[in-house]
Structure 1
């Protein structure tokens, strides 16, 4: 199944969400047989139903921040996914604050719902995980509310999707989100109006032009952005950058192929793991660069070398294992 992105809600502050000027509830990412629920804020269940999304089909829930607009319904979503723990399944991927709390912030995940899940993975910036053939990087954010907040970069079979979550402008983001086909930015305020812990239109434009995605999507709007008109702000960025920019609406569905945002680059990391390491073939590894050099001739059969990680990320929620991947020889065509 081709990748699809569904915006359950696009509200971004207490005024907009409190009055439901825009809905909330997060983003659904569907790719092949996997369904990921990103940042299930208030109203996640009702807005999923409105948009014909079956929460039971969630493979994993990704929560970027302990802010209520991002994690309010995480327990409700886990409860629905698992029939209140009767069907223990699914994965929660989040940061330290949401799962374990800090000195000032209590954990959002309850003890009961912690036991409903098959696996809980706590990530910090620079770490990555894999769920079947989708890799996910945890990305740095400059977030004043939750110091452990992270963004996500999803490598699916047909696109690379970047989700910045709530962050202030930083040059580091430009490097981290390079190579994204689609980039989702939470833009709270219009123009150059400063927003603590969030982006405004001017800062979003600077990021978009330097990251250069095929498609950029603005969402998570505050009341000032609503008054200024998010569609106008998106069009202004598109005029100035020459890059396709959308202003997300509640219930909007994005198919990458419709916007010529489908990735043309084929990656060697989408191999099948034959040896089961953990249930659901989930493997968490430290972020590192694979330098794989290939000398390929049209009529020559080669076996790609995959460098094994020296060690896996250890948990609060994550095991440490070394393993070997068995790979079959593959004939590679240089022209593909």
Structure 2
């Protein structure tokens, strides 16, 4: 792949400065990265994605709650969902947890909020155990969600498409999904009244981070005889005029700054999270995929009531230690 850094930095960083920094980080490699790739920018994002919570504003109003005031804390989330389930008889929370990456993303966000990003990254590096008290608290959040009775039945067997369909049909008041869902819900139910809101906090000791970054990106073959033409095209594609067209055509968030006035309110609210985006691709360390698999399966088992948070924590740590000894 062609290192686009020289093109990005040409004319006093003119091209690079168009982009939201967190969006561009996903397609960049810093010096001394774990992949041993030469530092540089290797992709051109054309949109940005963000993972956030959503709520049905119509159901809020029907249940007597303020549709302009989504929950700000984990406790609020459960309380609001229980109230609406009690009054309206619908599920409190729906998500495609058969696709375990959604569980992992949510667990990661709560972990960073609860213990701080530094301690979270130390866990990935192996300096903090998954049996640490803070990790037990993170896993216990999912046990509390189960015990609260707000989760949709069979949530761990539900795909994201099934969860999106249920939310679009007002079968649940809360969900956790990506910004791409705007286009999905528009197709499923154009009249759906909903909004995004930031991660419900579990601690005030550390700031929240939300999963997100570059959505779709283009890369240039370094050996192509047309690489210069490709770079020119990508510069054109990431001009405000083209980005505004893509916003209207795809309902996706832009990759560059300066398009905010073209965003509908629903999408514009998501840009407030751009400064706090995080993603495994930008972390200095990454967890072994086999450890992640054990964690994701364990989270599903907690939600199903098959294992306790402590049992899952021990299983994750045992797996990590076994793999580190090889």
- Of Structure 1 and Structure 2, the greater strand share is in 1
TM-score of the alignment, normalized to the shorter chain, above 0.5: no
Which structure carries more relative contact order (alpha carbon 8 Å, separation 6+)? Answer: 2
TM-score interval, smaller chain: under 0.3
Who wins on radius of gyration, i.e. which is larger?
A: 2
With normalisation by structure 1, the TM-score equals 0.25
